Amino acid sequence: MKAIVIQTFGGPEGLAVVDLPDPTPAAGQVLIATEAVGVGGVDTLIRSGALASYGFQEGHIPGGEVAGTVTAVGDGVDASWIGRRVWGFTGTGGGYVEQALAPVEQILPLPTGLSAAAAVTLGSAGAVARFGLRHARFAPGEAVLVRGAAGSIGIMAVQLAARGGAAAVAVTTSSTERGERLRRLGATLVLDRYGDGGTEAPEGYDVIIDVVAGTDMPSFFDRLNPNGRMVAVGAVAGQPPADFGAKIMTAFQKSMSFAAFSAATVPQADLRAARSKLFTTADRGEIEAVVHEVLPLDGAALAHRKMDAGEVFGRIVLAP
């Protein structure tokens, strides 16, 4: 089968197409003939070498989110899965392939009308947005700011906050055109990437969902209301300054809080239920899976170049 590997850490040119033996599912696994593979922000971080200290090595196959048809099952797996269209999570790698292995507990059947591309746009990003808002203790009537709203996680956070009864949903973005697209998805206020929005901007927000992190993150504490909560669900701009917490301490009387959130801390049963609901809701047309572009599997390097350049609105999908 064809697969994409990280031959050398660094730029997208370090990705290469290779031929690998067809995989065989082990006990508890299924084999999925992939129709769609999601390209995520974490894939670009792994490819760059930024996460090498976490054990990632050259030769790694990126990608963790696939959709397609189950073609084989390992020991202990119900054979009725064979022939069914599913979404699957392969972990921190193993997704950029023509045939992907996934644990049976990490697959979900897809509604008939939901495309594979939509599934890999919703499955992980939607869950992060859904539980990130819960981690922030978001409640109806509160004002929400989504920092870095043009990616798949940010777009889902906008839609879910709007559906959840937010009094306002502000977004930071880099262009007027993106701002208008986010308004159509539920945003009520468009700010620049620094959080400025002129006289229309409220004095503060109850919840900030931050996909970006990076050096500018501490300045957004100034935009929290008393008892406001900021939750970092990503770090596409890298780590914040080591002393970022000083901002909270200098505004001690505002009782602000900060938390990081990873979907890895959510019980599997809760993740499965949330993803199934997302797929069903999207199949009914009540939320939108925003696919920026579909590229062939050997277009992985181009996909990463677009990600690095900040050109992507929504999610790029590879179609093996």
Q: What is the pLDDT of residues 39-48, one digit of tens each?
A: 999 999 999 9
For residues 216 and 84, give the distance between their C-alpha atoms in angstroms, rounded to a whole number.
45
Q: Which residue reads 């022939």 in tokens?
A: 83
pLDDT at 267 over 90: yes
Q: Is the Cβ–Cβ distance between 97 and 1 less than 8 Å?
A: yes
pLDDT at 66: 98
pLDDT at 236: 87
For residues 249 and 66, give the distance between their C-alpha atoms in angstroms, rounded to a whole number.
42
Alpha helices in the chain (DSSP H): 41-48, 116-135, 152-163, 176-184, 246-250, 268-283, 300-308
pLDDT at 78 over 90: yes
> Average pLDDT, stretch 185-205?
88
pLDDT at 197: 80
Q: Is the Cβ–Cβ distance between 283 and 111 less than 8 Å?
A: yes
Q: How confident is the model at residue 225 (pLDDT cuts 50, 70, 90)?
A: very high
| pLDDT tens-digit readout, 147-156 | 999 999 999 9
pLDDT at 74: 98
pLDDT at 94: 97
Q: Which residues of 94-128 are buried (b: 16+ CB within 10 A; e: fewer)?
A: bbbbbbbbbbbebbbebeeebbbbbbbbbbbbbbb
Considering the chain, what is the average pLDDT of its residues?
Answer: 96
For residues 142 and 207, give the distance between their C-alpha atoms in angstroms, rounded to a whole number.
7
> Average pLDDT, stretch 121-130?
97
Q: How confident is the model at residue 199 (pLDDT cuts 50, 70, 90)?
A: confident
The pTM of this model reads 0.94
pLDDT at 202 over 90: no
pLDDT at 90 over 80: yes
> Average pLDDT, stretch 307-314?
94
Selection from 120, 111, 131, 28 nearest residue 66 by Cα = 120
Q: How confident is the model at residue 105 (pLDDT cuts 50, 70, 90)?
A: very high
| pLDDT tens-digit readout, 16-42 | 999 999 999 999 999 999 999 999 999
Which residue did the predictor score with more confidence, 129 or 174? 129
pLDDT at 77: 98
pLDDT at 12: 98
pLDDT at 220: 96
